[in-house]
Amino acid sequence: MTTSNRPFPPDFLFGAATAAFQIEGATHEDGRRDSIWDAFCREPGAVFGGDNGDVACDHYHRYRDDVALMKRLGLQTYRFSVSWARVRPDGGARNAKGIDFYKRLVDELRAADILPWLTLYHWDLPQALQERGGWTVRETAERFTEYALDVHDALGDRVNVWTTLNEPWCASFLSYTGGEHAPGHTSIEEGLLASHHLLLAHGSTVQALRARDASLDLGITLNHTVADPADPGNPGDVDAARRVDGQFNRWFLDPIHRASYPADIVEDIRAVDAAAVASFEAAILDGDLATIAQPIDTQGVNYYHGDLVSGTAPEHPPVSGGPATTRPGRSPYPSHAGIHAVERGLPRTSQNWEVQPEGLTRLLRRLSDEYTRAKGVRLVVTENGAAFDDVVAADGVHDQERVAYVQAHLGAVLDAVDAGVDVGGYFYWSLMDNFEWAWGYDKRFGIVRVDYDTQERTPKDSALEYARIIAGRTLGATEPAVAR
Ligand code: GBH
């Protein structure tokens, strides 16, 4: 890989991403009611430091300034999510005031010539629906489509790109099996059921939106890992990598693109919990898989890090990368025995996640070769980013590690483009520091620093570098685009 003067394709979009619960605050204003994350934050030990989303970045009140900042950085597109708990506070009747916020936001973006990239679900399920079973029940998928149509009623004339779900793996297995995310359950059966109902919600909503307007660009965002065996010659290590890939990537890719769940993984999980798999299989009704496999236009790819795994426990296991919360959890992998993380000496972020840019190139090539190219589905990197310990100084916020991270991952994207992969754009996660779920405000992903006492925003060195890359549409150009 070279980083000197490599141009991006002319139609490649540069953006940054956020999510409603992580930035908006105003959790009980204008009719919004609890989401599962509001409730989860109140559970002792669930979120680091006892943090919650009540104020967050106060974006609900500061969106105009935030859009102006995006404009200043030269962002072409902005990926945000709509809060279901604002639009349908009880999961049922619609709340006009809640929808109005997104009209104002979208109008502001369009006036700034920034393409709105809308995600319908980034994890803030109305708590009222969780009390009726949440994603473990089929009804929630039906309520989701109704909510999506409310949002389309309001924004269909001004938003073209619609993403149904962000990272259904997190919203199912990390939430209902691993216990790390809201609602914090630790059941294999619930994780399986949630994954199916999330996928069903995706498929039926794509169908419903497509029927409304055939010109919409519709898709889903998945989170991925690149699982490598510690020793490619060791069958136990190869099998551990197969199982990580199967439970993390293929569990969602296969139903969406092939209308089937991966049979090897279904059998692995059956060996662990046959009753859970029986319940999951009973929940898959005739026609569900065809619904889930609706054609899509864009597939969002979130990539943070890979996994090097072994079938045998290393003598010195690597330090865990999970949040420093105190609630008991379990593995988000239903079939986890014999999967061991192996240290390979890569640089790490402040959450102890590996920095592995070449994994992104391999991921994009693989998704294209095995799933999307034949169908003409465009791939877009909808999240990539890292938390580091920024140096706050009088002359700016210095985050050299993030500068290098962005450069390296954009280089990895260009490597995939050079290999013939249709990659339509890149969103850095995140525009600004925000509520990092179970890690609270302790970890900062932004290219813009947020002072949580004053709500002051300060572009970090990485924001200036990103602005420079965007202005030149080239990796490795030299002139600064934006003054600090
Ligand atoms: C995304 O999820 C979210 O969409 C976004 O809201 C969030 O703020 C952002 O990333 C940063 O976290 O056990 O140490 O190997 C992240 C998906 C999947 C990344 C699980 C970390 C396991 C870490 N995550 N993965 S570790």
Per-residue pLDDT of the chain (484 residues), as tens digits, is: 444 689 999 999 999 999 999 999 999 999 999 999 999 999 999 999 999 999 999 999 999 999 999 999 999 999 999 999 999 999 999 999 999 999 999 999 999 999 999 999 999 999 999 999 999 999 999 999 999 999 999 999 999 999 999 999 999 999 999 999 999 999 999 999 999 999 999 999 999 999 999 999 999 999 999 999 999 999 999 999 999 999 999 999 999 999 999 999 999 999 999 999 999 999 999 999 999 999 999 999 999 999 999 999 988 777 667 887 888 889 999 999 999 999 999 999 999 999 999 999 999 999 999 999 999 999 999 999 999 999 999 999 999 999 999 999 999 999 999 999 999 999 999 999 999 999 999 999 999 999 999 999 999 999 999 999 999 999 985 444 455 4
Q: Is 167 a catalytic residue?
A: yes
pLDDT at res. 478:
47
Q: What is the pTM of this model?
A: 0.97
**Helical residues (DSSP H) of 74-187, grouped into ranges:** 84-87, 96-111, 127-130, 138-155, 168-169
In the chain, the largest separation of any two C-alpha atoms, in whole Å, equals 63
Closest C-alpha to ligand 1, atom 12: 436
Q: Which two tokens stand for residue 86?
A: 């604002």
Cα–Cα distance list, 113 to 10, 77, 80, 96, 466 (Å):
17, 8, 16, 26, 18
Is the beta carbon of 322 within 6 A of some atom in ligand 1? Answer: yes
The interface predicted TM-score (ipTM) is 0.92
Of 27, 26, 37, which is closest to residue 62 (Cα–Cα)? Answer: 26
- The CATH architecture assigned to 6-475 reads Alpha-Beta Barrel (3.20)
pLDDT in tens, 339-350: 999 999 999 999
Binding-site residue positions? 22, 122, 166, 304, 429, 436-437
- CA–centroid distance, residue 320 to ligand 1 (Å): 14
Strands 77-81 and 115-121: parallel
| Mean per-residue pLDDT over the chain, rounded | 96
CA distance linking residue 52 with residue 59, whole number of Å: 15
Q: Is 383 a catalytic residue?
A: yes
Is the beta carbon of 19 within 6 A of some atom in ligand 1? Answer: yes
Q: Which two tokens stand for residue 208?
A: 């419903």
Burial 413-431 (b: 16+ CB within 10 A, else e): bbbbbeeebbbbbbbbbbb
Angle (nearest 5°) at CA 65 between 61 and 69: 140
The alpha carbon dihedral of 261, 243, 421, 11 has a sign of positive
449 phi and psi angles, rounded to 5 deg: -80, 135
Of 468, 254, 267, which is closest to residue 370 (Cα–Cα)? Answer: 254
Is the beta carbon of 167 within 6 A of some atom in ligand 1? Answer: yes
Q: Which of 189, 383, 401, 465 is catalytic?
A: 383
pLDDT in tens, 178-225: 999 999 999 999 999 999 999 999 999 999 999 999 999 999 999 999
The residues near 110 (Cβ < 8 Å, ≥ 6 apart) are 116, 158
pLDDT at res. 2:
46
For residue 244, is it left (φ>0), alpha (ψ between -120 and 50) or beta?
alpha
Any bridge partners for residue 378, and if so which?
298
Q: Where are the domains of the chain?
A: 6-475
Strands 217-224 and 227-229: unpaired
pLDDT in tens, 6-39: 999 999 999 999 999 999 999 999 999 999 999 9
Of 38, 350, 291, 303, which is closest to residue 169 (Cα–Cα)? Answer: 303
CA distance linking residue 121 with residue 138, whole number of Å: 16
CA distance linking residue 248 with residue 226, whole number of Å: 9
SS3 of residue 82 by DSSP? coil
Q: Is the peptide bond before 430 cis (omega within 30 degrees of 0)?
A: yes
Best mutation site among 24, 427, 437, 442 for ligand 1, i.e. most ligand atoms within 8 A of its Cβ?
437
Q: What is the DSSP letter of 319?
A: P
Closest C-alpha to ligand 1, atom 26: 321
Closest C-alpha to ligand 1, atom 7: 436
Q: Which two tokens stand for residue 186?
A: 């630790």
CA distance linking residue 131 with residue 198, whole number of Å: 17
CA distance linking residue 194 with residue 196, whole number of Å: 5
The amino acid at 152: H
